[in-house]
Structure 1
Amino acid sequence: MKTWLLALLFTCASTQAAEHGVKELSPGRLLLTSGEIAVGIGPAPTKIERVLIIIHGRQRNAETYRQTAERAAEQTGQSATTLVIAPQFLNESDIALHPVADSVLRWKGNDWMAGGVSTAPFNLSAYAALDEVVARIGDRLQFPDVKQVVIVGHSGGAQVVQRYALLGHDQPELKAAGVQVRYVVANPSSYAYFDERRPVAFSHAGCPDFNRWKYGLADLPAYAEGRTPAQLKESYAQRDIVYLLGQQDTDPNHPALDKRCEAKAQGPNRLARGRYYFEYLKRLYPQGMSQQLIEVPGVGHDGDGMFNSPEGQKALFGQ
């Protein structure tokens, strides 16, 4: 992609720091149909064959994750053909503490993680914003050589990627162009289940929300309107998804681990929850699915360690 073309997609923004909120604002802005989203972008290779979209977690530290993804691309020799994009889902507290234009989308708290609607300047689901980022890559005039899009997240970002893989709208332009889309879900605290079965016994009366979105398919967000759970189940089986689990991510008291009853019903820690969920999927799809589980030995809850391990690099850049 040429430099002048990047200028059409991204405009510069201030990165002044504030004492609270996110430590660093992503320097770019991507214009959507409704407002703009903050975004970080890596160096653009001359020939872009892969676009890696990396989703931050609750800390909204998009630039940290962008650098992690770029490091993984460099170590595998893929940086010459890989463009890294890191959207930043700002919330209202970030907007209050940083100099941000009124046109930049913002969400309430962590509502963006579950596909919630932005509070200003327009009402847009975070997943609809992701749809637009992905759809932009389907423009063959701007991205003529792209063969693969990889949507990846760790921890809170992995929660987003797993739910987005479930609810995300189809991208007919990418499919028509033969562009593969892969989702990499690394060490999330929880998953969205398709029915009321859970691997751990719990009190339904004491945990009435266990099957509500984002833990189940009851009360789906407006973004999912028009699609039934059966349709979602069918389309999910077709997604190319890699569940990447750190074998040392086993601390049941980890400060960032979801300890609500809805999450505890899925297992005692992230490793167990991921293993349980994959076994659940194998029972759910006895006819087979386009998904795999890869475990990373010696790594715990560490995004950089996960994505820069041989296993993580295989998930991001392998077949």
Structure 2
Amino acid sequence: MKKIKLSLFIAVVFLTLTISGQSEPLPEGLPDSRISITINDKVVELPYWRNLSIGTKRNNITNAIIAFHGINQYGKSVYNNIRSAAISEGQLSNTIIVSPIMMELDHINYYNLNTNKYPYWTRRWKFGDLSQNSNRVSSFTVIDELIKVLIRNNPNLETLTITGFSAGGQMINRYAGGGRIPNTIPSRVKVQFVSYAPSIYLYPGRYRRIAGTENQFATPNTSCSNYNDYEFGVGGNLNSYMRATGVSNIKSNMTNRTVYQMVGSEDTGTKFLDVRCGAKLQGDNRYHRARIYTNYVKRYYMRNNNKKLLVANGYAHSARAYRASNVRKVFFPSNRRNKQFKGNDLVNNQLGEKLESIELFPNPVENVLHIQSIKANSSIKYSIMNISGALVKEGRYSSESILLSDLKSGMYFMQINDGKQVRKAKFIKQ
């Protein structure tokens, strides 16, 4: 009997310590550097990994990257992989990389940090929720303040990339819609968001994919009553930061901002995958969900080809994918080697002439093709020919998208006729 009571006592103590998480170190140690920012009229500090101090003014920086870790706070690994990518692209000298640590109470206690100075969260920092200490700080407000500091201290900045891996990817996916400060950034700075391998996405509308498809959407017939509430959607239960932004502004931001959905081609496992009913409606795994969500936002919330799927081939769920060659091209666009080709820059080798006047995107394309700068109109006819010149598809451009799922992989030529002129372009079907 005593043995049973002792075992029960040990189990209760262990469970209590596990739940309270009173004293645990960060897995990669506490960074030496601190970001000091003023929020709610109080100076707060966040530990961060970095190659350069965020608080120093520099005229040579043209590229800035804010990178967030996953739920287990491996911020150094995220930072190191992005730094390696910068070195591979020859741009470390003109790039500042900052990777903040989103602290939790057990880390605060382990390192004996001042709770009046260091904000700490539950794991809902990935959704923009408020910190747990007296100076209530949204994790999205932290991003706002980091952006302000980077813009102020780097007057020649050309590109600002805000990214996050796994739970950090969820954070950036939501901030891309809810963040308010990006709208105040000078137009000379290109701002882009890279949401890497989130478990779930924020859908700005009620539609979800039709089962068995990746590019067909409708209001689901489901018993999952909260599938469109925050953090799955914007139908209700928004936190204080997102309520202040407002649903209409969230949808507008998600339409107008440049957002990459990044995922590893081998990220098809279910370990640590959100499997709540609202998550299951988004797809079977991270790779599947990324493809579906990209198709969704391209169809309903895209302007000027600003929604893209970025696949790191051969990578599973790992921060190492930041070093993939096609990923580096997105993070370091000022590199002349990384200028993306456009459909109207290609040459029709059959005719020996340059195709011009229209730009198709995405190019290469998987299933859904759009025409840049041409509004949908039923009077506009399109024709698609294969490499041999045979007509394989035709129709009217009446829905701002052309479905190509019935075409085989290969090179094709498109001709657009609006009754006044004929314009041409080339594209590649993957």
Q: TM (normalized to structure 2)?
A: 0.64
Counterpart pick for 1:197 among 200, 207, 212: 207
Matched, 1:62 2:67: no
Equivalent residue number for residue 24 of structure 2: 20
Cα distance in 2, alignment partners of residues 39 and 165 from structure 1: 21
Equivalent residue number for residue 210 of structure 1: 227
Unaligned 5+ residue runs, structure 1?
1-17
Identity, in percent, stands at 25
The alpha carbon displacement at 1:152 in A equals 1.1
Q: Superposed, which structure 2 residues align to 1:1-319 within 5 Å? A: 20-23=24-27, 24-34=29-39, 35-43=44-52, 47-102=60-115, 103-108=117-122, 110-139=123-152, 142-171=153-182, 174-175=185-186, 178-199=188-209, 204-205=222-223, 207-217=224-234, 218-251=236-269, 253=270, 255-285=271-301, 288-304=304-320, 306-318=321-333
Unaligned 5+ residue runs, structure 2?
1-21, 212-219, 334-338, 340-430
Cα distance in 1, alignment partners of residues 169 and 303 from structure 2: 26
**Structure whose CA Rg is larger:** 2
User: Are the counterparts in 2 of residues 200 and 264 from structure 1 also a CA contact under 8 Å?
Assistant: no
Equivalent residue number for residue 428 of structure 2: none
Listed one character per residue, the Cα deviations across residues 45-100 of structure 1 (whole Å, up to 9, x for unaligned) are 87211111111110112122111111111111110100110111101121122222
SS at match of 2:186: helix
Listed one character per residue, the Cα deviations across residues 15-53 of structure 1 (whole Å, up to 9, x for unaligned) are xxx983422122222122132222222146872111111
- Counterpart amino acid of residue 194 in structure 1: P
- Counterpart amino acid of residue 40 in structure 1: W
Matched residues, number: 294
Q: Which has the higher contact order (CA 8 A, sep 6+)?
A: 1
Cα distance in 1, alignment partners of residues 248 and 134 from structure 2: 34
Equivalent residue number for residue 411 of structure 2: none
* Cα RMSD (Å): 2.1
SS at match of 1:63: helix
Q: TM (normalized to structure 1)?
A: 0.86
Q: Greater CA deviation, 291-300 or 213-222?
A: 291-300
Listed one character per residue, the Cα deviations across residues 183-230 of structure 1 (whole Å, up to 9, x for unaligned) are 11111111000122212557733x222111111102211112344323
User: Are the counterparts in 1 of residues 254 and 301 from structure 2 also a CA contact under 8 Å?
Assistant: no
Cα distance in 2, alignment partners of residues 73 and 82 from structure 1: 8
User: Are the counterparts in 2 of residues 26 and 62 from structure 1 also a CA contact under 8 Å?
Assistant: no
Q: Greater CA deviation, 26-35 or 144-153?
A: 26-35
Q: Which has the higher strand share?
A: 2
